[in-house]
Structure 1
């Protein structure tokens, strides 16, 4: 099987999305011929040192002529993908770019849906929301298949109305690449969060609120800097900005508990499978969340699930304190999270690719 992975990516090698894509392809390469086609405004050839497989990079300008430059980059990528002649093309849902239509018409295009795209876009740009409202059908209606990271998305009318073959695959993590960290045996209670600015559904403001309510605990925020929060941070909240894995592993090692997504309600959703939560669990950290996790439909002792609402911190402070204290000096058993492994997730994705290809081949045979 020959797989082209087309991705519009403006996050660097330390981002969860970049690491997810690399770990996906590393599994696919064990069974398939794979090439990644990256359209970007901020990455360059230097990123190739982070992986060892075939790739092509198409850059565009981040200026007033950015749209034309971006379209040109997509045109070049699409032409090269067609020339490479893959059996299936995989991509993440994005805004509509006209050159991609050619891929959807003439190839088996499979789209990964990571979020409620329309609701998320509406949160930050009404203009882009209107554009997507009018144009998203052009690609979705012609896709050969959809991959959802949670079942809630699969039930959304914006996708369901096209009646496309689909599969449900929650986000995974290459668990085998890291070791369960030893417990923090110091007297200090320390919580950690990994995220990025500009994502209101992460609930960073709620973590700040929790730090104010628990002055005896220490809070480590990775990926967030002082300039990216409103007001001043309490003295027990430490903002580290962007760190690479070797740097933030040291913080994870001295932490007792991790914090996942706390405000998914702001994104109009109740279910998710966040990458950061999979990473926390791979290292053995219990996690505080506020959503239904796709891979733990019945919950788990190492997941504290708060209500998915605006006041979930203030109304559950005792519950949070009890959970953290209960897990102090403990780690999550590795065998209870192995189903999150990238290997298991990607085996299912590859099976879906084969089904899509076979269905397309049968359809073409019947037309002949």
Structure 2
């Protein structure tokens, strides 16, 4: 079976680096499930069609250079029609994007009707709380028109339907290659010898990450003398970075909170190695999400880090190395985190155990096989 993934994501984007890792994981999953698989995406200013084989994206030669940012949102989907015609897949899986003005995806699906099984993935649903300053009526009208053109809907939302269209839920995963690589680079059975508990948050910082809850929690924690030192390391940039830095300064927490900015490669690995606990998004309720399957949580687990979280996630539900905090705007109780950390340290080396859990639990192949089971009825019908 030939599967074509289409996503208007730039492989070199810092902001969407995690998303592109997800795309490559999905491609790996379909390949492991026995499919020929290709992807249409952006590479700097060039729209590219590449086949995926054993961890590598290899250009098919079908590409469109010199696309301006102003044109991209429209011409990308026009070129994607040509990619479908040229590569002739059995299944097309598109990463949904909100159509703020032009019904690009509606036109795309109409143009490929009858050429392949048409599928759409909602990376987040509901998502409207993330959209600010836009005409939601237009977004909703275009979305409904698109759903009328697709055969199957997939999402990380566990509702039975999305706007009356049957929904096939899945959880985000990591590629097996990435899981093994992270364990090799970041997991050690030996912990640093000091009395500092290092908390780590890696994100493209937005309101729903809830970093303010930890900062305010640290401010409350340090109103009294403490035997255990707790530090928060924040990696990443984003819309909320300046506000968080101001909050930190206003509370005089600069000694206990360090903003590292964007890190990658060996510098990022070093922060992961030094970390003791990871912080998941603690403000998902602010955008009306009460169930998640974020890639970052899976990266934390594969890197051997226990996770502090608030929003329900299937990969955390049966895991002894996690601590759930209230799903609201209350400040996080830091003494609870200290107690949790001290308890799990008594069970033996934590990081190798968590890396092993990730290797056994997280797999894009199973997601791909579930998608294929849904579409095979159309192929054989």
The interval holding the TM-score normalised by the smaller chain is 0.7 to 0.9
Matches of 1:140 and 1:269 in 2, distance apart?
Answer: 22
The structure with the greater share of residues assigned to strand is: 2
Equivalence for 2:339: 322
Distance 1:57 1:135, change over 3 A: same
Query: Offset of 1:86 from its aligned partner?
Result: 0.3
Q: Deviations over 1:122-154 (max 9, x none)?
A: 4x2332x222111101222332222222xxx23
- Residue pair 1:183, 1:253 contacting (<8 A) in 2 also: no
Equivalence for 1:238: 258
- Residue pair 1:194, 1:222 contacting (<8 A) in 2 also: yes
Distance 1:189 1:91, change over 3 A: same
Equivalence for 1:119: 128
Matches of 1:143 and 1:265 in 2, distance apart?
Answer: 30
Distance 1:326 1:226, change over 3 A: farther
How many residues are treated as equivalent by the alignment? Answer: 343
Equivalence for 2:159: 155
Query: Offset of 1:13 from its aligned partner?
Result: 5.9
Distance 1:224 1:74, change over 3 A: same
Higher mean Cα deviation, 102-111 or 75-84?
Answer: 102-111
Equivalence for 2:226: none
Equivalence for 2:141: 134
Equivalence for 1:34: 37
Distance 1:239 1:335, change over 3 A: same
Matches of 2:342 and 2:38 in 1, distance apart?
Answer: 47
- Residue pair 1:3, 1:33 contacting (<8 A) in 2 also: yes
Higher mean Cα deviation, 104-113 or 83-92?
Answer: 104-113
1:177 to 170, 175, 181: 181
- The CA RMSD over aligned residues, in Å, is 3.0
Query: Offset of 1:183 from its aligned partner?
Result: 4.1
Higher mean Cα deviation, 31-40 or 327-336?
Answer: 327-336
1:338 to 333, 352, 359: 359
2:214 to 184, 190, 207: 207
Pairing 1:105–2:113 present: yes
Pairing 1:222–2:240 present: no
Query: Offset of 1:23 from its aligned partner?
Result: 2.4
Matches of 2:339 and 2:5 in 1, distance apart?
Answer: 45
Pairing 1:293–2:301 present: no
Pairing 1:255–2:262 present: no
5+ residue gaps, structure 2, are 223-228
Distance 1:41 1:12, change over 3 A: closer
Query: Offset of 1:355 from its aligned partner?
Result: 3.5
Matches of 1:173 and 1:312 in 2, distance apart?
Answer: 34
Large movers: runs of 4+ above 4 Å: 39-45, 55-59
Distance 1:335 1:41, change over 3 A: closer
TM norm structure 1: 0.82
Q: Deviations over 1:44-68 (max 9, x none)?
A: 88x99x9433466556433xxx2x5
5+ residue gaps, structure 1, are 364-368
Give 3-state SS (helix, strand or coil) of 1:189's partner: strand
Matches of 1:76 and 1:346 in 2, distance apart?
Answer: 29
Matches of 2:286 and 2:164 in 1, distance apart?
Answer: 24
